[in-house]
Amino acid sequence: MAFGKKKPDRSYLQPYEDATRRQGPGFESQLWMSKEAQDTRFGVLCDMGRFTGRVVADLGCGVGDFPIYIRKHRPETYPKSYIGLEGVHAMAEHARERIEIEEIDRTLIEVGDFVADESLPDLLVNDAGAEVFVFSGSLNTLAFEDAVRVLGRFWDALTKSGRGTLIFNFLSLRHNRERTPALPPAVRFDPVLLLEWSLERTPLVRMRHEYLNGHDATIVMDVPAVA
């Protein structure tokens, strides 16, 4: 079953589809730097995201590593329900199999292209009750302009609902470039520009940039409560 509409432009997914064809769906096909770095990012998301009791939608969930990490390492933060959206069909199917094997409840994995399908933000908020949108590593093959356009759509959906949180991580330009260059297909963003973009939309912004020695950053945006 596909969650939402599908459109033909999938160039941003091509690196993941190519990797999946070469070696099958798995950790390596997600193009993460290392399992240890991935776990560090997940820990930051759990610290900053306030998932407990909320409906969380993970855009670009890969093979389901994040819900498995939360259940194993931070069970007290597991959300009221978790919805994982993944654009690569083989990865989504593998994620479903892993979730079933791990017997993780309150979890749904669907196929959905969060870049091409502009209906997804409102659909997730209005029909699925999503309160938190998570982007973890899923912006890494997008140009800056495309990334902020996508983030803007999901932020606007939360704003219209009057509540919610947008949390995303990204590769940072303010790092040791000699030690950690951005190798294609990875794209690095300037955290100052993304912080400014976030603050233009809400004063309720938090950012962390230290957890991997500046290799990447995480930003959290909350919709202000109506007075």
Return the CATH number at 44. 3.40.50.150
Asked if the structure places residue 209 within a domain, the reply is yes
Examine the pLDDT at 167 and tell me if it is beyond 80.
yes
User: In the structure, what pLDDT confidence band is assigned to residue 27 with cuts at 50, 70 and 90?
Assistant: very low
Asked if the structure places residue 11 within a domain, the reply is no
Q: Residue 225: what pLDDT?
A: 86
Question: Cα–Cα distance between 148 and 191 in angstroms, integer?
Answer: 12
3-state secondary structure of 70: helix
Asked if the structure places residue 116 within a domain, the reply is yes
| Structural domain of 102 | 33-222
How many domains does one find in the chain?
1
Asked if the structure places residue 21 within a domain, the reply is no
Examine the pLDDT at 114 and tell me if it is beyond 70.
yes
Asked if the structure places residue 27 within a domain, the reply is no
Question: Cα–Cα distance between 92 and 112 in angstroms, integer?
Answer: 9
Residues 211 and 44: beta-carbon distance below 8 Å: yes
| pTM attached to this predicted model | 0.86
Question: Cα–Cα distance between 80 and 135 in angstroms, integer?
Answer: 18
Asked if the structure places residue 151 within a domain, the reply is yes
- Written as six digits, the tokens of 151 are 């983030």
